[in-house]
Amino acid sequence: MNEKMFGLIRGLFLILPFFVFFSTVTADLSESSSETIYINGRIYTVDDERRWVEAMAVTGAVISAVGSTADMKSMAGKSTRVIDLQGKMVMPGIHDAHTHLLHAGLKWTHECRLPPNAGRDAILETLQGCSEQSEDDDWIVAGDYNPNIPGNEKLDRKFLDQAFPDKAIYIYDFTIHHALVNSKALTLAGIHSGTADPPGGKVVKDIVTGEPTGELIEMATALVSRVIPPYDAEINGNALRYSIARCHQYGITSVQEASGTPTLLQLYNEFDHSQELNLFVMTHIVWGSEKWGDETVSGLDDLIAARDKFSSRHVTTNATKVWMDGAPLPPHFTQAGIEATSDGVQLDKLLFDQKRLADKLTEWSQLGIKPKIHVAGAGSVRVALNAIEDAYRGVPTQVPRPDLAHSNLISEVDVERYAKLGVVAEMSPAIWHYGHVEGFEVVDDWWPFASLLAAGAHITIASDWILPPNPNLFPALAGVISRPKESVGLADAIEMMTRNGAVSVGQFDRFGSIEVGKLANFIVLDRDLFAIKTSEIATTNVLMTVFEGKTVYLNAIASPKWR
């Protein structure tokens, strides 16, 4: 693995009644004409019965007709708004199956941003600039640093202490799983030479002195993050507004929030009631992890028990999130793999054993809760599948099945188990966003799209936004159809990022395809994905995003007539 590869890693991370009239499918419009009709388009519906149409009508929040331009015009009333798509491609709104909206928003609007692959001097210079601009005299939270850059492998608290002896510094690394802190932060957290490693984490200590070096691995980061003062309501609100706007910019109309915390659940609820959300959100409430849940383990149990309190029109909270292991990235490699010599799972890297997970999954299945399980290694995948098999044996198929988040490393013998168990293969985040990289050929058969698809697995695509700079999934779309190994066709890939997501969260009767009676959640693109080179798909721009009939994003280069 070379520096170029490391640089890339750092840069990543109501159905209404309807009838057919000639070529037109419509809802019953006898009482009122359509409010808006979209004509002269290339509308890709993702509907098995009718993949392409030329035009559609929207009444209120619902698609009321699809068909030809002539048909739509014949249905227009005096007050109908007509939008000429001028041949542009339209598709259903994108479902991002794994994102962290508040954390990503805070990262890009409030926290101190280090230059990509910054070395020691650049880190200190950036921190100093952030300190001078910050109103917080006690803490600086920053990211991301890359310990794999030459010279950075020796980063510890001492170089931070020289510049910041009296201000606490917390820097998360490029995986977001680990952190580097200075002595002030260690003191405030009560960490010293006698501090024991927490379950699933490590406080790195000097091999000679036994003193903490400031490096915190996995669950040890919670020892410090728990004492960082929480952000106020204004900062959190602005961060979430930023993230929602970014989702709309990239055509995302529904998401699965992968780190539901008390603060975030309250924010989603407030935003939805004040009509600021304009997204469908399935919020997976964190279970069993103070690090990721920003709450004690018992507090998270209470939050799951009170989940219905936070449900609203566009937010469902009947979902949970479990971390089974860490990250499959250097230098720590905290994922649970399978030992090549013994074919045995690396049990010491699992955060929960098979029985405990199975017991919890059994409980959740009885409550109709949909879990999302973080599995970064082939070993954690196998244990999660075993637990799912134990927990869901005899459970009706309509009970929502778990997502296995990331699904990047899967043993060949476990691929077919996804379909047999009804498990969702959620594919995120991914080096395949950016194509093949010399020196990193090992990932060419990671994220086995083609094998999973051939086995009949249900696949979704996600950004895992907090790692990459934005939630743009068009590079992912290009990547999944052009991998050296394990690529799939364009139509299949589009389904993965639209209808498959809607099916996964139990909302396919409401969105995920462009059909009469479904919500008018769709996007207009600046190019026809089926008529261009694969290399051009990654740079696709969204011209318009419509959520429940309302335009929530309009690109500056979009037609003035659409405004």
Query: Residue 444's pLDDT is what?
Result: 79
Tell me how far apart the alpha carbons of residues 279 and 209 are, in angstroms, rounded to a whole number. Answer: 52
How many beta carbons lie within 10 A of that of residue 13, not counting itself?
22
Q: Indicate if the pLDDT at residue 86 is higher than 50.
A: yes
* Cα distance between residue 146 and residue 149, in whole Å: 6
Average pLDDT across the chain, whole number: 91
Q: What does the pLDDT read at residue 34?
A: 63
| Rounded CA separation 38/81 (Å) | 9
Q: Per-residue confidence at 435, pLDDT binned at 50, 70, 90? A: low
| Distance from C-alpha of 558 to C-alpha of 544, rounded to nearest angstrom | 7
The model's pLDDT over 30-76, given as tens digits with 9 standing for 90+, comes to: 334 569 999 999 999 999 999 999 999 999 999 999 999 999 999 88
Mean pLDDT value of segment 208-227: 96
Write the single-letter amino acid at 203.
V
pLDDT of 228 reads 96
Architecture of the CATH domain 17-92+520-562 = Roll (2.30)
CATH topology for 111-225 is Diaminopimelate Epimerase; Chain A, domain 1 (3.10.310)
Q: What residues does each domain of the chain span?
A: 17-92+520-562, 94-103+233-319, 111-225
CB atoms within 10 A of CB 230: 9
Beta strand spans in 207-354 (E): 212-218, 252-260, 280-286, 315-323
Q: Answer whether residue 325 shows pLDDT above 70.
A: yes
Rounded to 5 degrees, φ, ψ at 164 are: -135, 75
Nearest-angstrom CA–CA distance, 391 and 491: 34
Contacts of 91 (CB under 8 A, 6+ apart): 43, 44, 46, 494, 498, 514, 522, 523, 525, 529
Checking if the pLDDT of 342 tops 70, the result is no
Long-range contacts of 233-240 (CB under 8 A, 24+ apart): 235/106, 235/110, 236/102, 236/106, 236/263, 236/267, 237/267, 238/105, 238/109, 238/110, 239/102, 239/105, 239/106, 239/109, 239/110, 240/101, 240/102, 240/105, 240/267, 240/268, 240/271
Residue keyed to tokens 């699933």:
200
Task: Provide the whole-model pTM.
Answer: 0.92
The correct answer on CATH 3.40.50 for the domain covering 94-103+233-319 is no
Look at residue 15 and tell me whether its pLDDT is greater than 50: no
pLDDT at 399 > cutoff 50? yes
Take residue 331 and report the two structure tokens written for it: 């230098």
pLDDT of residue 401: 93
474: its two tokens:
């068009």
φ/ψ (deg, to 5) at 442: -60, -30
Q: What are the Cα distances from residue 380, in Å, to 250, 326, 338, 415, 423?
A: 32, 10, 9, 13, 14
